[in-house]
Structure 1
Amino acid sequence: MSIPIRISWRATALGLGLALCTAAAPAAEAQAAFPHKRVTIVVPYSAGGITDTLARTLAAKLATLWGQPVVVENRDGAGTIIGTSAVARTPADGYTLLFTSYAYTSNPVLRRQLPYGPDAFRPVGLMGSSHNVLLVTNRLRGQSLQHLIDRAKAEPGSLKLASSGPGSSPHLGAELFATKAGIGFTHVPYKGQGPAMTDLMAGVVDGMFDGMSSYALVKSGKVAAVAIASEQRHPDAPEIPTFKELGMDFVSGSWFGMLAPAATPDAVVQQINADLHRAVEDPAVRAQIAKTGLLVALSTPEAFGQYLQAETKKLQALVKSGVRIELN
């Protein structure tokens, strides 16, 4: 005996309507003006460092410009690889961005393999650059650069220099300094600038290369500055001599900028770049950036890409010249 099955035309129409709405939702979202929901900026360093500070300064202003929440998420560890690879796996729609610095260019040169490919990202915009300053703990205050070098030569490995992570600008700065000075040292890596600076102030380590973002700690007497690795003295810290003035031809520093997953649409990338410029033009944002000692140098996505290529070639040339920097 067969049992008749009755299907309501209303239920059929409702189901069909829901199916059509569900199918149309992604298309409608894709066509919506950017941004129409929360944007996440991933910083592959711990909270409290200059990269994190700059990202939060930008995020606050971008949230105002966009009328949408802009959240900064710290995903530190493994020399920035954890946070960087996480962004590489996200949808390429502009809603998850990477705000990073020097390790982005050093990791592909210094590490044997990475969990993301060389073309995983596209440049959005360079924000600026900063030169490294050799900072020392207060128990070494007043000691000259030559004194530190002499001690390191007399007691190989006794000089403990911190960094914000393997392959970071402070790490590479220390390695290049050691090569120039002909000394050895003990590298003490941390998960970001914040915890490294905490231990420097406590005297756990002897010194650290860091940008002018730490100058406030120098002025307050919490750490001491020996020399800055730039061509000229910094206008905000004219009392800090350059390494060149002290007899060492040594220039070192970092950059800070925004990147997005490689397939992010051109229109979205160009809009974010334009809004980064608008954000930095705000006097209040400029004032916050000035506190970090960053030299602002905004660029187009294309110019930022060329800058990254040039930085990579510099590192490759250093490695080929015999400077040995081994990372896990």
Structure 2
Amino acid sequence: METKVSLKARHIRRLMISFPFLAASVILMQPGAADAAYPDKPIKLLIGFPPGGSTDLIGRLVGERLYRALGQPVVIENQGGANGMVAANAVAAATPDGYTLLLTSMGMTTNPYLYAKSRHPLKDFTSISLLANVPNVIVVNPKLPARNLDELLGLARSSKAPLTSATTGQAAPGHMATELLQRAANVKFSFVPYKGSGPALNDVMAGYVDMSLPTVVAALPAIRSGKVRAIAVTGTARSSLLPDVPTLSEAGLKNLGGSSGWYGLVGPAKMPKEIVERLSQAVVKIMNDSEVRERFKLNGADPVGSNSDEMTAFVAQDFRRWGELVKAANIKGEAQ
């Protein structure tokens, strides 16, 4: 005599034979089947800064190309505030199904040392792909008697008072690069805070401050007009917008590493591996597109594109390096 269990199993097999769509439904319910269908609805891409800035422009370009690659709309949502933490915290708390993503930047690895409410870059997020490096450039007032890095550092060491350096935000890439510079070269600068790169550059041009480290794209008009002098760029390679300006390493400081800002794509922690791979592969193809690369470069960003493991390793290194610097320099976060 058949047991109740075997009778039930035979009954289910008959239903599957009689109703093929039921068998398909059971298959779709198996683990991993939903991942294979990804994406089957719009994806939300959060940006932690207001519309119109370079981060927003980069995010919208990536969103547009992801739509072409994945076949689903990518809805851009600007959630500005708290140095990008509002958007980052929203993504960290989202369901890890690949439908809520974040265009992130260097603040992801500095904010945890500056603000208690910031999420951990390695524990609370899934790295998907690096998008680009964003180099900064040392610029000085043309009347300053320094035409290269050696002369600038020599002047800094011999001056009775420290050279002044305009910064645009506490722990912003330019600020952190200047902190690294003075430690690597054993010099001291006097930091002068500004609300943005525009006012900072205006005062460098006017001679009120000696130098600054804005992004290359922000400084480019002033450099080309001769109103400021470019000394060296951060990062591991020369900027395509300033091919004649050496890197800090080429100029003699080989122990700084890639001290640029950057852009990357992340999602909540514990995203399915298949979805992460689908997204990272799409991003790598996007970043290899000649039109995309040119548009990135026009925004002062050097295209990269990477897999998840490569970005995870990069974020871990960046997180460790900036943490050491924040503690050593006693850098405090701005009031939120």
Structure 1, gaps ≥5 residues long? 1-26, 191-195
| Other-structure match for 1:200 | 200
Q: Distance in 1 between matches of 2:287 and 2:231?
A: 31
Matched, 1:259 2:260: no
| Other-structure match for 1:175 | 179
| Other-structure match for 2:305 | 298
| Other-structure match for 1:56 | 60
Matched, 1:111 2:123: no
Q: Distance in 2 between matches of 1:120 and 1:264?
A: 11
| Other-structure match for 2:142 | 141
> 2:87 corresponds to which letter in structure 1?
G
For these two proteins, the number of residue pairs brought into alignment is: 288
Matched, 1:36 2:43: no
Measured on the aligned residues, the alpha-carbon RMSD in Å equals 3.4
Q: Distance in 2 between matches of 1:151 and 1:214?
A: 28
Q: 1:36 to 1:253 in 2, by over 3 A?
A: same
| Other-structure match for 2:104 | 100
Q: Structure 2 length as normaliser, TM-score?
A: 0.71
1:61-112 deviation digits (Å, cap 9, x = unpaired): 112223333233333332322221122222222222111111111222x326
| Other-structure match for 1:19 | none
Paired residues for 1:197-276 under 5 Å: 197-203=197-203, 206=209, 207-214=211-218, 216-217=220-221, 218-219=223-224, 224-230=229-235, 233-234=238-239, 236-243=241-248, 250-251=256-257, 252-276=259-283
1:187-225 deviation digits (Å, cap 9, x = unpaired): 5264xxxxx233234438845423433364233557542
Matched, 1:287 2:306: no
The alpha-carbon deviation at position 246 of structure 1 amounts to 5.6
Matched, 1:186 2:191: yes
The alpha-carbon deviation at position 282 of structure 1 amounts to 2.4
Contact 1:132–1:229 (8 Å) recurs in 2: yes
Contact 1:45–1:76 (8 Å) recurs in 2: yes
Q: Distance in 1 between matches of 2:306 and 2:262?
A: 12
> 2:276 corresponds to which letter in structure 1?
V
The alpha-carbon deviation at position 183 of structure 1 amounts to 2.1
Contact 1:59–1:70 (8 Å) recurs in 2: yes
Contact 1:87–1:97 (8 Å) recurs in 2: yes
Q: Structure 1 length as normaliser, TM-score?
A: 0.73
> 2:68 corresponds to which letter in structure 1?
T
Contact 1:153–1:184 (8 Å) recurs in 2: no
The alpha-carbon deviation at position 302 of structure 1 amounts to 1.5
Q: 1:286 to 1:232 in 2, by over 3 A?
A: closer
Q: Distance in 2 between matches of 1:198 and 1:215?
A: 9
> 1:93 corresponds to which letter in structure 2?
D
Identity %: 26
Q: Distance in 2 between matches of 1:233 and 1:44?
A: 28
Q: For 1:85, which of 69, 86, 89 is the aligned residue?
A: 89
Contact 2:157–2:187 (8 Å) recurs in 1: no
Q: Distance in 1 between matches of 2:234 and 2:288?
A: 28
Q: For 1:324, which of 314, 318, 330 is the aligned residue?
A: 330
Contact 1:55–1:99 (8 Å) recurs in 2: yes
Q: 1:264 to 1:319 in 2, by over 3 A?
A: same
Q: Distance in 2 between matches of 1:37 and 1:275?
A: 17
